[in-house]
Structure 1
């Protein structure tokens, strides 16, 4: 076992359950397919993290059958089901679950950040002294991590308006006395305009999403 662990935090790609904000343009099936393609790219990109001293975990939701998703896992990856009522509670539980395995540092990200790569994940661990965040361009954050001595429960058990454009600023107000590192901002995929923008900015290693965007470019015109 390595000393560091990375959690890919995701919902199971179920039609009409995931990426519902994309459905102003896409069908429920198409939105779920976008989520699936992003997950496939992520698992492919991160399958060699263990070579850099980082163990890979998948924390998945409970709204659908996870078997297909689990079949995509690299052989050296681990998976467990999320627990909790709110997204904050679920993230908190996921981080605590992994820390219970005696890791020194844990980083968690969402699964809808196509240009997230292994270099950024490694940078999060190397720069982290107490807490690290990766800001998203919409005012939230795509990455959060901390050392074993830090308890992030105060930011996950609050009335923060998850999904709004001031999530990161609200979060930082609860952490005035910690050493916090901010990584470069990245675009996540919530709305059709995000997908349209990503067509021109997508990194080459995102093979599955790139193929979907090319095959369905008519949907995004």
Structure 2
């Protein structure tokens, strides 16, 4: 059983790409069911349904939530990166040595700007365009995709400058109700895709990304600790097979 103070096995981590899902929800006519998620567009001047979370940040409903007048949120849908076998996120700050004769020991400062990068690595799998597929979203960041199935022909144009939003759920698999979810939201520009096929080993599909403060919609990243309640995790977060 996974507890809050226990080290986690790598298989506990699951990764997703978050894509816009419908028109923004606005005002008291908008509501989120438990487990629905999105990015905050605006907030009520007082007593917002989003509490102290700033505009532009990610929000996941841990209870049925009705928006207030002035609240607005863009819902997103998680696309499961089921091909993945490893995920990484690295963050760093620029440090400058400002030690001088007054100092008895090393003295450093930072401009506070955080750089982030990482990778999603896994097995190469084939999926058709008419399926909701995270691996096809990643492929389309580098090249167009053409699907030919008899007389059914589909074309997905490459979007090589598009930024994506990654959701890294470090303990999504088998997280129990009452435990806390550990989540990183990362606006990411995918910078490298590599495939490998060697005798005696699995074919691979690997992507590298550079983290950004925000995407083109001004949706920003952050680290989230969310208490898991019944129905909170998307059903895709407990997959039976690859997406």
**Pair member with larger Rg:** 2
Specify which structure has the higher proportion of helix. 1
**So what's the TM-score if we normalise by structure 2?**
0.23
Specify which structure has the higher proportion of strand. 2
